[in-house]
Amino acid sequence: MKKVKGLIVATFAAYKSDGSVNFDIIPEITEHMVQQKVTGIFICGTNGEGPSLSTEERMQVAEAYMKAVRGRLRVFVHVGHSSVTEARRLAAHAEAIGADYISAVSAFYFKPSTVKNLIDSMAEIASAAPNTPFYYYHIPNITGIHVDMMKFLELAEQYIPTFAGIKYTASTINEYQACLHYKDGKYDILFGYDELLLPALAVGAQGAIGSTYNYAARLYIEVMNLFEQRKIKEAEQLHFHAVEMVQLIVKYGPIPTQRAIMKKIGLDLGNPRLPLQSLDTEAEHKLYEDLTASGFLELVNGL
């Protein structure tokens, strides 16, 4: 299977004022991503609030994106669920509508007790979409599943016929590099920590999935271009602007802050579902002041 190169945007959920999913804005979100010149989109994941949506809503979101994309972007559908049965429904549906890839986190309430137990769970989900490449979504800070990814790779290739790789959302660059080198780079290991993209490139990353690519893809694409040209100092200086941006996100709260930034660039996604909350008016105002002072969005738009 051909590996995925470039940036994959982890899109955000969108809601109407009554709390229902806003499917009407999905074509507009999609056009924005096409204009950002990214490789693809990752839907119904962490930023897409997959765990807060019903199975039916997730299916409808996937259908809306597939209709809007029209083959212009690669589409990853996150099908992870605490219920393996529901995850299988989502996987089968994603394959039926023509998604390019599926991905799943581990169950995060009743957690797998061993690597083999985790593999068995992922194999059960992946088998519901036997013709669609499967990526395990490794995000231990959220799921609490801390397993050796090298052992995972060894077993995944034995028990998951459609296994394509890992969405690696962890800061352990050394393990990430080891996964990249497993069997001479047999699998596609997509990096998921935006603020560590440059270090990941240094150890061999070719593709990445992230949230800040929603509005700052141009900056990261330029970082990747500079790195390929071996203009390391220029790449480092530009990448530091992204690090400073992430510091703002940490200051105000990851998802609420980024949803406010999306509103700032003209894509009002509404209020997230509880327990997530939007920034209050004062915090939003201070965020916009900080954004103005940093010149981050102006920098991104100027690239």
CA distance 118 to 124: 10
pLDDT, tens digit, 9 for 90 and up, residues 145-190: 999 999 999 999 999 999 999 999 999 999 999 999 999 999 999 9
Residues belonging to the chain: 303
pLDDT, tens digit, 9 for 90 and up, residues 186-200: 999 999 999 999 999
If pLDDT is split at 50, 70 and 90, which confidence band does 2 have? confident
Mean pLDDT, rounded, for 195-216: 97
For residue 302, the model assigns a pLDDT of 79
For residue 16, the model assigns a pLDDT of 97
Average pLDDT of the chain? Answer: 96
For residue 136, the model assigns a pLDDT of 98
Two tokens at 103? 């991905």
Known catalytic residues are 137, 167
Taking the complete model, does pTM exceed 0.75, yes or no? yes
* Pairing label, strands 163-168, 134-138: parallel
pLDDT of 296 > 90? The answer is no
User: Residue ranges per domain, the chain?
Assistant: 6-229
CATH homologous superfamily of 6-229: Aldolase class I (3.20.20.70)
For residue 196, the model assigns a pLDDT of 96
Residue, of 225 and 297, whose pLDDT is higher: 225
pLDDT of 263 > 80? The answer is yes
Please state, for a pLDDT cut of 90, what percent of the chain lies above it: 92
pLDDT, tens digit, 9 for 90 and up, residues 9-31: 999 999 999 999 999 999 999 99
pLDDT of 1 > 80? The answer is no
For residue 207, the model assigns a pLDDT of 98
For residue 125, the model assigns a pLDDT of 98
CA distance 89 to 55: 8
Q: Is 227 exposed, middle or buried (0-12, 13-18, 19+ CB in 10 A)?
A: buried
Q: Is there a binding annotation on residue 25?
A: no
For residue 301, the model assigns a pLDDT of 82
CA distance 241 to 294: 9
Please state, for a pLDDT cut of 70, what percent of the chain lies above it: 100
Number of helices and strands in the chain (H, E):
13, 8
CA distance 100 to 77: 8
For residue 288, the model assigns a pLDDT of 93
pLDDT, tens digit, 9 for 90 and up, residues 82-136: 999 999 999 999 999 999 999 999 999 999 999 999 999 999 999 999 999 999 9
